[in-house]
Chains A and B, each alone.
Chain A
């Protein structure tokens, strides 16, 4: 379980990294925290000839609120930084992010793993992908030809594939508005494992009443997905139980050794209900 040979390049700035990626072509891969990539390389399931290490770009390791109340998270911010929120930028509006971090692996993974790395890796069960889809995040991406912004809905293309071009670097993730009534929950055989199913909801609550909300699921398809059918139940004033049942009905998760389609649908029902209950209690 030793990786295949590669050449290592340490980026000095984002533009330099993008230029390097453009030069090196398809054989290059960006490494940030490396918590997924290095394991895959040790198994030789990934074998890039060039690694471009952006880990030293400290300017991408910051979290701040913008003038509109949105939250901007630099791509190299670690899960642990979000979890501990040392500068207190999250507040009640983004408390959901802090709490969601406890579901990501374990402490020594969260100290190295980064928000941007997780998004760019695009695992179908990843907490960050789910949060991005639910909370309508935007991805600020920079390449040799400049910067562009990709909405979450267009960013995740399926199993481990995203809208990032090979020579582009994810620099910042923007959560445009606070989500005080949001929650993420999941279930796995062991704590810290990749979720069998993960569920996130972001409720619109006015005067103690749920007026609507967004519901998204991980582990049920090739990428994190919104479930409009379940959201419609919330808009129509349906119960959480009904919302959860509709969500379970709406998806067709693939079966594997950990569970059948039926079982995963049942997990969807359980977890959507739990997420709704947690979110409304915030």
Chain B
């Protein structure tokens, strides 16, 4: 037997220190704005100052007179192909619309790029913007869902009647109307959620240059989807894909906003091609807040029927998502309504379901994915429905959930989705126990007796992660993401480099993926190195979103490492003249079972590369393997229960979060510290959406937020510490047992906060259903109505 037991040295499951930290802590990370190339120029964009207009003229002649300005290009100058996101759905369900790289003929939101100014530095570029003269023939802007649907509404896109880009009606269980008619309890909510900015702290940006030697455009850009950017760049610029190389440096967050192809990065690349000089574009915060991709502005009208014991009987929902001016690539304007429509039943055993999901186009900055995509909203709506039913039926809010969560797995829902095993009930019970153990119910009662307002709120949810090709194909996307490919290679010094098609932007892939490979090969993690984010080095990939990296990418990586391991075993076995299953890998070496023979990886690699004549005929030289992974079922569901305790302050309307508890289950946690980091960060963003952040527009379409004074990202003062409990229901079909962990925090928080606020407001009789919850709303609720008797 081998003297090195494999299991004792396993890294998966351990909170090892992150590989990416030393360089980031020392200021030696390399972000896109850190790139400086000889002769590099700097770009900024002339942007629309009106929300909806025909472009009468774009006169950029004076721009060239500005000191330091080198060039300026309009759509007419560059003649680029449009960015067009497609769904394979009939026109009655989806209307494809083109997003030109620079506006042509029409502008559709304040901040839309019209011309690119290229100058010797960012200061001169901004001087140049001021010299551009754009004449508009203004059109009435469409600034709300109601305005968009109006019979005489102006059209944002001529081809989209009633300004509707997506309109799907799904499921419609037989007899659902009868269920509502006869149910003892029917509750409704009408909920609107604010338009948010995913707000990576690093704004978007790119550095593009033409490499003559490779005959290739090199586009350094901070994107979550490098290969999809390559596809769009090659189409818009009319280059072969080979002639475009997308390279992603360190990335300062993305959260979905960098998961779509930006028009500015394509325009910067076009300018670099024209000028044959490197061109850098770094989005400033004003543009990032007002003119990038936003998210989350949704309107739900939902009703649910319950029996007398509080069991849900039916759900009927109408979801309208305000997607702004354009469909994003590759997801399209369907991203939010399709997600909401398919997944809304969530963790509950729902017998009957009907949903209509629509995407409406308006004269606001376009929307893209944002951490959680629709789930923070529909979970909030579901949780409000349950809270309301609990009140009507005089049930405890936790008890009504307990009676409804899915407990028998696999469970195939009314939405045709099969849920793999999770800990829905266990997480709910543990979360409630945790809150009770800290005495919050007693504190709530004591506060009420003093006329103070403490409330406790819960939210239960699951999150589909590890969407494979099958699941995305159901959305009928023309770009069906799903699989991932990993190449794993060992060199003659016995060290491993491996690739993934996923794209780290804070999720710690350099560490967690290396943990998986090191374990699989019994290799010191210091000898394992990940490469990602370079379309010339990575076979193909769909990047990082939908909590797919560890589930899909981590599985491909593990399969690749295992495949390499098989080859190492085979070579060692051939040297010893034994069957490969007589060989095991541990401690950086192949070891012969029941013998003391050892071949180190260096020795095997030496044979594979430098002594290939020693290899048997059926083993190819070299140590490079490729593995792919895909999920062929509905994916794997992480789950969690959140609890939030708030105190409302009558004098100011302030919502103070006193406690936050999260019980999460993401299957096997590759690195528990990283999982906790994802939870905490996600919860902070969910709280931000519930209480602080919103972009609004005035009637003319001018956005409210061009800075952090107006777009109120919460600080350490507003975000509470989070107590996290872990449960582990391993996934049966990912290679590591892991489920995704990237988005859950964001999904659960708005519902928990809103429910807690409503619990605290219980004596007032006021219920709030919209987010963000404003100070004034809470103040009015606490002071507007006369004090009623406090309930227990």
Contact = CB atoms under 8 A, between A and B. Distances in A.
A adjacent to B, CB under 8 Å: yes
Given A189-B712, A190-B712, 15 more contacts: A1-B126, A1-B285, A190-B692, A190-B717, A190-B718, A192-B717, A257-B696, A257-B710, A266-B651, A266-B779, A266-B783, A267-B651, A267-B652, A269-B651, A274-B651
Interface in A188-232: 189-194, 196
A43 B126 CA distance: 11
17 contacts: A2-B126, A4-B127, A5-B123, A187-B652, A187-B654, A189-B775, A190-B712, A192-B717, A193-B709, A193-B712, A257-B704, A263-B653, A263-B775, A263-B776, A266-B651, A267-B651, A269-B651
Interface string B762-792: 0000000000000110011001000000000
A259 B651 contact: no
B776 A259 contact: yes
Interface string B269-299: 0000000000000001110000000000000
Nearest to B783: A266
Nearest to B286: A1
B122 interface: yes
Most chain B C-beta atoms within 10 Å of own C-beta, residue among A3, A187, A269 = A187
A239 interface: no
**Majority SS of interface residues in chain B?**
loop
A269 B284 CA distance: 40
B714 interface: yes
B714 A190 contact: yes
Contacts of B654: 187
Interface residues on B, range: 20 to 34
Contacts of A189: 692, 712, 775
Interface string B691-728: 01000100000001011011010110110000000000
A50 B295 CA distance: 42
A1 B127 contact: no
Interface string A158-194: 0000000000000000000000000000010111111
Interface of B: 122-123, 126-127, 284-286, 651-654, 692, 696, 704, 706-707, 709-710, 712, 714-715, 717-718, 775-776, 779-780, 783
Most chain B C-beta atoms within 10 Å of own C-beta, residue among A2, A43, A191, A196 = A2
Nearest to B652: A187
A281 interface: no
B692 A2 contact: no
Contacts of A4: 127
Nearest to A263: B776
A270 interface: yes
Contacts of A259: 775-776
Contact of B715 (A3, A190, A269, A273): A190
A78 B780 CA distance: 39
A269 to B, nearest CB: 8
Interface string A225-263: 000000000000000000000000000000001111001
A192 B715 contact: yes
B46 to A, nearest CB: 15
Most chain A C-beta atoms within 10 Å of own C-beta, residue among B654, B704, B779 = B779
B695 to A, nearest CB: 11
Contacts of B284: 1
B150 to A, nearest CB: 25
Interface in A115-150: none
A262 to B, nearest CB: 8
A187 B715 CA distance: 15
B775 to A, nearest CB: 6
B776 A260 contact: yes
A190 B712 CA distance: 8
Contacts of B651: 266-267, 269-270, 273-274
Contacts of B718: 190-191
Contacts of A270: 651-652
A196 B692 CA distance: 15
A43 B227 CA distance: 35
Contacts of B285: 1
Most chain B C-beta atoms within 10 Å of own C-beta, residue among A1, A4, A44, A258 = A1
Contacts of B696: 257
B710 to A, nearest CB: 7
Contacts of B127: 4-5
A74 B661 CA distance: 49
A268 to B, nearest CB: 11
B709 A194 contact: yes
A161 B710 CA distance: 23
B41 to A, nearest CB: 15
A191 B714 CA distance: 9
B216 to A, nearest CB: 31
B110 to A, nearest CB: 16
A192 B712 CA distance: 11
Interface in A1-42: 1-5
A2 B122 contact: yes
Contact of B779 (A44, A190, A194, A263): A263
A176 to B, nearest CB: 33
A87 to B, nearest CB: 30
Contacts of B775: 189, 196, 258-259, 263
Contacts of A260: 776
Contacts of B692: 189-190
A43 B692 CA distance: 23
Contacts of B712: 189-190, 193
Contacts of B710: 257
Contacts of A2: 122-123, 126
A44 B123 CA distance: 11
Contacts of B653: 263
Nearest to B284: A1
- Nearest 6 interchain pairs by C-beta: A270-B651, A191-B717, A1-B284, A2-B123, A263-B776, A2-B126
Contacts of B776: 259-260, 263
A95 B712 CA distance: 31
A51 to B, nearest CB: 15
Contacts of B780: 263
Interface string A37-67: 0000001100000000000000000000000
A269 B123 CA distance: 47
A44 B284 CA distance: 13
Nearest to B776: A263
A44 B775 CA distance: 31
Contacts of A263: 653, 775-776, 779-780
Given A194-B709, A266-B783, A43 B652 contact: no
A275 B707 CA distance: 30
B281 to A, nearest CB: 14
Nearest to A196: B775
